[in-house]
Amino acid sequence: MTKKLSRRFKEALAKVEPRAYQPQEAMELLKETATAKFDETAEAHIRLGIDPKYTDQQLRTTVTFPKGTGQSVRVAVIARGEKVKEASDGGADVVGSEELIDEILQGRMDFDLLIATPDMMPKVAKLGKTLGPKGLMPSPKGGTVTNDLKEAIAEFKAGKQEFRADRTGIVHVMFGKSSFPPEDLLENLKALQETVDRNRPSGAKGRYWRSVFVSSSMGPSIEVDFSALRDLKLSES
């Protein structure tokens, strides 16, 4: 059964031509097609020439968005001893040790990001089946296994975001809000592009970038000219 498109979506879709847009033009069109009654999230979907079933073709890293994400991030920290106080003082929303691990196993999920100190990871390992499918399992590559709790909490609350390629080699990342100026959205998207290039898996062969699409969370997909995005030089503000 085909899902019926709303009039709002059809009107937004009619504004999008079947071509790759220049980056600035794509950001302006994203804003123009974000016509829902709330501040929609700006999403990027990047298809890469990788096969993540091979370990040397997996992509998992973090990006720091210079203009932030426009979203409040609830950070949980699993630590012990003096690190518990450090996490609380650093602005963590949820802090605990073994008891927090047990609460998560029992269904507690009132956080968007989980950070753990390295000494707690053997105990955190039992959360793999619970947190893994949700993409919340702490990892060194994701910057969520660290002893520098204050810095990590501050960075993630300011706009740092972990991402990975899915099983089909596509990266899905939220990079702002539709209320952002086009220039801010573009600066965030450029930061994402540079991060994807900088972390190219060693096993990636041939053409790495295949396509880039952006959209608001309730809007139509807009193709971006990824060559133009990679060549783009943003002036220092």
DSSP letters spanning 212-226: EEEEETTS--EEE-H
Q: Give, as one character, the DSSP assignment of residue 28.
A: H
CA quadruple 6, 12, 14, 16: dihedral sign: negative
Would you state the pLDDT for residue 77? 97
Tell me the per-residue pLDDT of 47-77, one tens digit each, with 9 for 90 and over: 999 999 999 999 988 898 999 888 888 999 9
Indicate the SS3 state at residue 36: coil
Band (pLDDT 50/70/90 cuts) for residue 233 is confident
**Is-contact 161 62, C-beta < 8 A?**
yes
Over 70: is that where the pLDDT of 3 sits?
Answer: no
Task: Spell out the domain ranges in the chain.
Answer: 12-69+160-231, 75-158
Say if 12-69+160-231 and 75-158 have the same CATH topology: no
**Between 99 and 162, residue with greater pLDDT:** 99
d(CA 65, CA 78): 25
Banded model confidence at residue 165, pLDDT cuts 50, 70, 90: very high
CATH number for the domain formed by residue range(s) 75-158: 3.40.50.790
For 12-69+160-231, which CATH superfamily applies?
A: Ribosomal protein L1/L10, rRNA-binding domain (3.30.190.20)
Rounded distance between C-alpha atoms, residue 182 and residue 202, angstroms: 33
Contact between residue 174 and residue 68 where contact means Cβ atoms under 8 Å apart: no
For residue 218, which amino acid is it?
A: M
Strand pairing partners for 164? Answer: 60
- Residue 237: band (very low, low, confident or very high) from pLDDT cuts 50, 70, 90: very low
166-224 pLDDT, tens digit per residue, is 999 999 999 999 999 999 999 999 999 999 999 999 999 889 999 999 999 998 999 99
Mean pLDDT value across residues 26-45:
92
How confident is the model at residue 5, as a pLDDT? 76
Nearest to 157 by CA among 188, 113, 191: 113
Annotate 96-120 with b (16+ C-beta within 10 A) or e (fewer). Answer: bbeebbeebeeeeeebebbbbbeeb
